[in-house]
């Protein structure tokens, strides 16, 4: 019995020391955590007015000058690195005409990085606006465009459908040696197409793909006439089509060759 009591007493003493060590270790860790937190808070208070000293404009903007981007950013409050509102900077940059999106990031200790992505104009929209590849409308100076773009027309809200239809038919015409240059969708949702050779196609509202294919099938026969050229092709029929011709235009070179 005495041996058992001694063993129990030893185990109890060992348990007390383990408990005391565990509590002490926890208190030490807690002390250092609190101290680090207080030091970090003091550092934030001390450096909360750290200023921005560097501005990096990233991406490859083609139409938007870097100075214009910097000028837009400077409209924000840049006095404090921590207090700077990156969403405000993002909005200021995306408000620039050619900018489609902007990603803004603060990089410690004093740098602001702005990554700019511009719209890629693919078509004119209703003369005074532009479309990008997503069919989204945006407004930007058109005199900055270097390439000739197709002209699309339609009621508000039809931009995506108009661009998708143009893209689809542009490819179809190109395969058959023709070039689509313009498209219009009326308020009554009737479609008209213009080719670069001056031909206008009236498709109406329904079955526009089949009607375009009908024109492509018959066009080789239409252009065989030597005295006139095709002006308007009306495809608003379940079967067949109506063709309007105009006098053949003679270029100056052709006139000289006949003299």
**Tokens read off for 224:** 């065989």
Instruction: Identify the pLDDT of residue 150.
Output: 97
Cβ burial, residue 95 (10 Å; 0-12/13-18/19+): exposed
What pLDDT, in 10s, does the model give residues 133-145?
999 999 999 988 8
d(CA 215, CA 164): 20
d(CA 244, CA 228): 10
d(CA 61, CA 8): 80
d(CA 225, CA 257): 20
Closest alpha carbon to 234 in 192, 198, 197 = 192
Question: Is residue 29 over pLDDT 70?
Answer: no
Are 200 and 193 in contact by the 8 Å Cβ rule? The answer is yes
Instruction: Identify the pLDDT of residue 78.
Output: 86
- Mean pLDDT of all residues belonging to the chain: 85
Strand 180-185 relative to strand 151-153, pairing: parallel
The stretches of the chain forming alpha helices (DSSP H) are 2-47, 66-73, 86-94, 159-175, 208-222, 252-258
CA atoms within 13 A on the CB side of 70: 7
Closest alpha carbon to 64 in 119, 130, 106 = 119
Those residues whose C-beta lies under 8 Å from the C-beta of residue 154, and which sit 6 or more positions away, are 125, 126, 161, 162, 184, 185
pTM of the model: 0.76
Arithmetic mean of pLDDT, 24-45: 55
Length of the chain equals 259
**Tokens read off for 174:** 């190109």
Instruction: Identify the pLDDT of residue 7.
Output: 52
């Amino acid at each position: 019995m005495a041996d058992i009591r001694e063993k129990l007493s030893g185990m109890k003493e060992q348990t007390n020391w383990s408990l005391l060590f565990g509590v002490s270790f926890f208190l030490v860790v807690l002390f250092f955590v609190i101290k680090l937190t207080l030091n970090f808070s003091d550092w934030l208070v001390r450096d909360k007015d750290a200023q921005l000293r560097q501005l990096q404009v990233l991406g490859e903007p083609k139409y938007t000058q870097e100075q214009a981007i910097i000028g837009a950013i400077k409209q924000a409050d840049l006095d404090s690195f921590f207090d700077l509102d990156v969403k405000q900077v993002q909005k200021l940059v995306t408000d620039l005409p050619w900018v489609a999106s902007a990603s803004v990031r603060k990089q410690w200790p004093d740098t602001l990085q702005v990554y700019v992505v511009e719209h890629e104009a693919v078509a004119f929209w209703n003369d005074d606006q532009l479309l990008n590849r997503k069919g989204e409308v945006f407004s930007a100076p058109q005199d900055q465009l270097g390439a000739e773009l197709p002209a699309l027309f339609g009621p508000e809200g039809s931009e995506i459908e108009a661009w998708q239809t143009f893209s689809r038919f542009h490819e179809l015409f190109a395969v058959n040696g023709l070039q689509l240059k313009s498209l219009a969708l009326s308020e009554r949702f009737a479609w008209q197409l213009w080719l670069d050779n001056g031909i206008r196609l009236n498709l109406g509202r329904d079955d526009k793909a089949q009607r375009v294919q009908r024109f492509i099938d018959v066009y080789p026969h239409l252009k065989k006439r030597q005295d006139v050229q095709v002006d308007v092709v009306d495809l608003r029929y379940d079967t067949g089509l109506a063709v309007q011709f105009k006098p053949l235009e003679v270029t100056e070179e052709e006139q000289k060759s006949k003299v």
